[in-house]
Amino acid sequence: MPIPADHHARRAQVVAVALRLIARAGLDAVTVRDVAAEAGFSTAIVSHYFHNKKELLHLTYLATIERSTQRWEATLTSSGGDLRAYLAGIMPLDEERLEEWKIWLAFWAKAATDESIAVVQRDCVLLARSRILDLLNDHYEKGAIRPEIDRPHAARHLLALITGMAVQVMFDAEDWPNSRQHELVDTALRVLYRPSRMPPSLRTDDQSAVA
């Protein structure tokens, strides 16, 4: 495998390999030697860009969060601010998103004893929750959200719902096809909206719902 000359490209390639290995075998099973071999580099080259395994893992965690956040924001833009579409971007509806959840779960266990990872995780949760709350507030200002809804509570509930569901999908994917995932989240979303202002993606008779 040719070695990229660009410093950032090489680091990105190593991180991408580490992500695949973590999703496949978990954090403890991944070594710098494994990552180097999978990437086609020498251990010395990988060690030049990452001082130790801890630094490699930390940057790998940041990379998967950045990648997913960029996708969520792109989905939000392309959907015109549709909350259901944004939440679908977080849900494990395909192989890429399921791999992300496997990686996150591996790091969550590590966060219990590693404060640097715990800080990243808290920031990620706060970012996702604040974005959900921003969307709820925006829809409220447009008269779509019912006035009695506690929007901060709703944002927490939606994120917690998806997190719990995603963990179950990882261990029992056959019991959680995309249709069931959408059904669970859609049920939680519909009670937030005025019936007359229900978004098209949540109308039960609308066949153009976000996939």
**Which residues lie closer than 8 Å to 112 by C-beta, 6 or more apart?**
118
> Does residue 136 sit in helix, strand or coil?
helix
Cα–Cα distances in angstroms (integers) from residue 142 to residues 72, 195, 196, in the given order:
22, 14, 12
Q: How many Cα atoms are found within 13 Å in the side-chain-facing hemisphere of 32?
A: 16
What are 47's two structure tokens? Answer: 């060690």
Phi, psi (rounded to 5 degrees) for 82: -75, 120
What are 159's two structure tokens? Answer: 């994120």
DSSP state of 2: P
According to the model, what pLDDT value does residue 87 have?
Answer: 95
Percentage of the residues of the chain whose pLDDT score is greater than 90? 42
For 23-49, the pLDDT digits (tens) are 777 777 678 888 888 878 878 877 777
pTM: 0.81
What's the pLDDT band for 148 if we cut at 50, 70, 90? very high
For 54-105, the pLDDT digits (tens) are 888 888 888 888 888 888 888 888 888 899 999 999 999 998 889 889 888 8
